[in-house]
Amino acid sequence: MRITTRDAATGPVLEIFGALDYVHAPEPRQLIDATPLLPGRRLLLDLAGLDFCDSSGISALIAARHHAQAAGADVALAAVPANTLRVLRIVGLDRVFTPYRDSDSTV
């Protein structure tokens, strides 16, 4: 797993590469918790490089949403792989997260 961070006009962007699974989910959760968010801004999780996401990964995405809400910010997912988007739809999280085609579409 590899995570890169950058700032965009709307707020911080975390690009996640590799597997977001039981073994690796704590790393993005810690990074997300340490990412300062301002009210009205957006935390964007760019998942274009995501190879795999299990229930621990889904929990990390939910934790990101809680972190954003606590700060009065928003959270969005970009470039969600088809298999992960399918899981989000099955469990109803496609109504909780706004999935965008790519990180440029969120502006």
List, for residues 24-83, the tens digit of each pLDDT value: 999 999 999 999 999 999 999 999 999 999 999 999 999 999 999 999 999 999 999 999
Residue 14's pLDDT is what? Answer: 96
Report the CATH fold assignment for 2-106: Transcription Regulator spoIIAA (3.30.750)
Please give the average per-residue pLDDT across 86-93, as a whole number: 92
Question: How far is 26 from 13, CA to CA, in rounded Å?
Answer: 18
Please give the average per-residue pLDDT across 73-98, as a whole number: 92
Amino acid at 55: S
Amino acid at 86: R
Residue 107's pLDDT is what? Answer: 52
Q: Who contacts 105 (Cβ-Cβ below 8 Å, separation ≥6)? A: 78
Q: Who contacts 53 (Cβ-Cβ below 8 Å, separation ≥6)? A: 19, 20, 21, 47, 81, 83, 84, 87
| pTM for this entry | 0.92
The answer to whether the CB of 10 falls within 8 A of the CB of 106 is yes
Give, as one character, the DSSP assignment of residue 65.
H
